[in-house]
Amino acid sequence: MKFDRIYTVDEISKLIDVQYFGDSKIQVLGINEIHSVEQGDITFVDHPKYYSKALNSDATIIIINSKVDVPDGKVILLSDDPFADYQKIVQHFRIFSASNQFIAPTATIGKDTIIQPGVFIGNYVKIGDNCLIHSNVSIYDYTELGNNVVIHSQSVIGADAYYFQKKNGAYRKMHSCGKVIIEDNVEIGALCAIDKGVSSDTIIGNGTKMDNHVQVGHDTVIGKNCLIGSQVAIAGVTNIEDDVLIWAKVGINKDITIGKGAVILATSNVDKSLEGGITYFGSPATEARQKWKEIVALNRLAKNNT
């Protein structure tokens, strides 16, 4: 998430009441998780295993729970609980504002867009021209829809990321400050759920079509002209490139990439990145023809042993 203006290190350190070390003139532009940080961003780290990754990332300001050497061009915010202080910053800049009406006054809706009865549209939502939003859809705050988007009944766009940290035997929620961006000519089926990014954005590319009951996790980026079948579950921080076909009941793990033009056949499960231009099947998913040969060989082996 980028802030609405440039902040100073001193302002941020006072906000969470911690000491800082490094160049006080550094500009603070936003806040982000380690996998999405850019120069000027704040991130956090609270385990020695990941100190090096955070300190050598593109982040400029690092909230950390140990005094370390400050890398050139960076600032350290020394915190007893980096996760909690990161959350304080998120909640300060992305305050939840309750709504008492179906369409928030801060939402903008384009020309010739149809909003069916019972649709909820939250604060600062942007909807383009010639869209069709069917009854009982919920569109959470800050979501952005392009032109010619269709969303079918009961879908939820922009719910919080499913992201928790376990500490002292309980789970602490990581509050979401990203959003969902749906580009032009996208169609979302009924009863789908597309979660906002934790700190960056979940993006659905131009021309992509989803069947019913699809789950898209936080910070996932889906490319252009993809087809996604019913009951597909896509975990967070997944990158699905253009022209990918995913058939029904496919499960896709987090932090992986599906290459351009890949086809994943129904009921497969994907646990690692897949090259583009290949058809996959199975659990775990592998090249389909090879998987079918394995199945035939196993069937023959079973018959020979009976």
Query: Where, residue-wise, is CATH 2.160.10.10 in the chain?
Result: 114-290
**What's the CATH number for 2-93?**
3.40.1390.10
Q: What is the mean pLDDT of residues 163-192?
A: 95
ω before 284 within 30° of 0 (cis)?
yes
Q: Where along the chain do the CATH 3.40.1390.10 domains lie? A: 2-93
- Determine what percent of the chain falls in helix, strand and coil, rounding each to the nearest 5: 15, 30, 50
CATH superfamily of 114-290: Hexapeptide repeat proteins (2.160.10.10)
CA distance 258 to 177: 26
pLDDT band for position 143 (cuts 50, 70, 90): very high
- Amino acid identity of residue 295, one-letter, is I
Asked whether the whole model's pTM tops 0.85, one would answer yes
Phi, psi of 211 (to 5 degrees): -80, -170
Q: What is the pLDDT of residues 249-297, one digit of tens each?
A: 999 999 999 999 999 999 999 999 999 999 999 999 999 988 888 888 8
Judged by average pLDDT, the poorest of 176-190, 196-210, 255-269, 289-303 is 289-303
d(CA 306, CA 294): 19
Q: Is 175 a catalytic residue?
A: no
The pLDDT > 90 percentage for the chain reads: 89
User: What SS3 string covers 133-193?
Assistant: ECCCCEECCCCEECCCCEECCCCEEEECCCCEEEECCEEEECCCCCEEEECCCCEECCCCE
